[in-house]
């Protein structure tokens, strides 16, 4: 499966210089956990503190921000992000402009979320 889904115009938005933002094909495929404690792999979070309690709203936001910003794999999105939760917290996330634009371009419903 291709991990980067460009916009309808063919433009890929960048998560950071030289790295395209990775966007899920559909929000429904995002079946990540909604509760409990999640430990991110080192490739997504380089800090020694890589565990997040999803019951803590601040930790949930911090985890989602890191995954959406750092991933280079669609599999990470499907395993770690929950589509319904993402829609609920979308406006609260502090994301690079390219990541936000990429997701909102692909999933127009997030603009109004």
DSSP string computed for 35-84: SSEEE--TTT--SS--EEETTSHHHHHHHHHHHHHH---HHHHHHH-BHH
Say what the pLDDT of residue 15 is: 84
pLDDT tens per residue across all 113 residues of the chain = 334 454 444 557 888 888 899 999 999 999 999 999 999 999 999 888 999 999 999 999 999 999 999 999 999 999 999 999 999 999 999 999 999 999 999 999 998 87
Say what the pLDDT of residue 106 is: 94
């Amino acid at each position: 499966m291709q991990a980067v889904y460009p916009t309808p115009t063919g433009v890929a938005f960048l998560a950071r210089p030289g790295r395209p933002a990775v966007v899920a094909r559909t929000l429904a495929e995002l079946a990540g956990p909604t509760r409990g404690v999640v430990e991110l792999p080192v490739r997504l979070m380089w800090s020694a503190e890589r565990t997040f309690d999803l019951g803590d709203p601040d930790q949930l936001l911090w985890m989602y921000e890191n995954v959406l910003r750092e991933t280079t794999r669609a599999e990470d999105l499907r395993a770690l992000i929950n589509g319904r939760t993402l829609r609920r917290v979308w406006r609260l996330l502090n994301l690079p402009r390219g990541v936000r634009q990429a997701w909102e371009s692909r999933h127009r419903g997030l603009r109004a979320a």
